[in-house]
Amino acid sequence: MGKDYYRTQHGGLDAPARNHFFHGKLLDVFHLELETNYFNQKRWLLNRLVTGYGVVCGLDVKLTTDKKAIIVHPGVAVDRCGREIVVPQATQPEALPGFPSYPDEEAEEQSRCKEEYAYYVGLCYRECKSDPVPAMVSDCEVAMCAPGSIRETYEIKIKKGHIPEKKSTFPDVIEGQHISYCAIVDQVTRPCRPLPMDCCIPLANILLRDSGTEWEPKIDIYIRPIVYTNQLLYELILSLVREEEPQ
């Protein structure tokens, strides 16, 4: 499956095309991939525009004991292109970028003018071809095997920068103590979100702060986007109802 299959010229809004089966139809690679791509494309579209992207559960980010690397714990997420990401077990330690060094006293004094360095942890969808099987017919005489599966895995990236806190995109939805239906309609009627160039989602900010004797990393997971599942929305509603109940 081409990695850019979902990235169409209309921002992912092309009309889906599915197989039309009939007796005697030749099922070749094109039509079998068309079948797989149809269901993937529809699911990714719903994930992206209906449930939204972000962390579904888990994926906590912790420092190793020596504070020089991070570990991402198991969990599930949906990336910004609607693709599901499953981290089945804790990741191997991902080394933090090289801590700033001070080669001499003059450079040290200049470097200490900047007491903080910001990075963020990104989680990305990644496909890996695996499970080689014999190829009965190959494109060339040398290739006797071909990957029989595509594993949907992930990649952890640590990049320089700072992810800002999330803010409401339509703050005028509340009028007094009532929800403004007109504000909701205006929000929904906006153009559909286009497919982003970068589908990764941020998991945490990492701030390297100078403590005077060493660089102290601090992790902030509260900038991560989350998926508001039905269970989570139900718990939020229950919390609001309990707050309004008379004591």
What's the pLDDT score for residue 63? 93
pTM confidence score: 0.82
Mean of the per-residue pLDDT values for the chain? 84
Q: How confident is the model at residue 240 (pLDDT cuts 50, 70, 90)?
A: confident
pLDDT at 25 over 50: yes
pLDDT at 7 over 60: no
Terminal-to-terminal C-alpha distance of the chain: 58
Q: pLDDT, tens digit, for every residue of 45-77?
A: 999 999 999 999 999 999 999 888 999 999 999
Q: pLDDT, tens digit, for every residue of 65-112?
A: 988 899 999 999 999 999 999 999 999 999 988 665 555 555 555 555
Q: Average pLDDT for residues 173-177, to the nearest whole number?
A: 73
Task: Please enumerate, as own/partner, the contacts of 208-213 that have beta carbons within 8 Å and a separation of 24 or more.
Answer: 208/96, 208/99, 208/100, 208/116, 208/117, 208/118, 208/119, 209/115, 209/116, 210/112, 210/115, 210/116
Q: How confident is the model at residue 3 (pLDDT cuts 50, 70, 90)?
A: very low
Q: pLDDT, tens digit, for every residue of 183-204?
A: 888 888 888 888 889 999 999 9
Token digits of residue 148: 């029989």
- Alpha-carbon distance of 109 to 87, in angstroms, equals 43
pLDDT at 150 over 60: yes
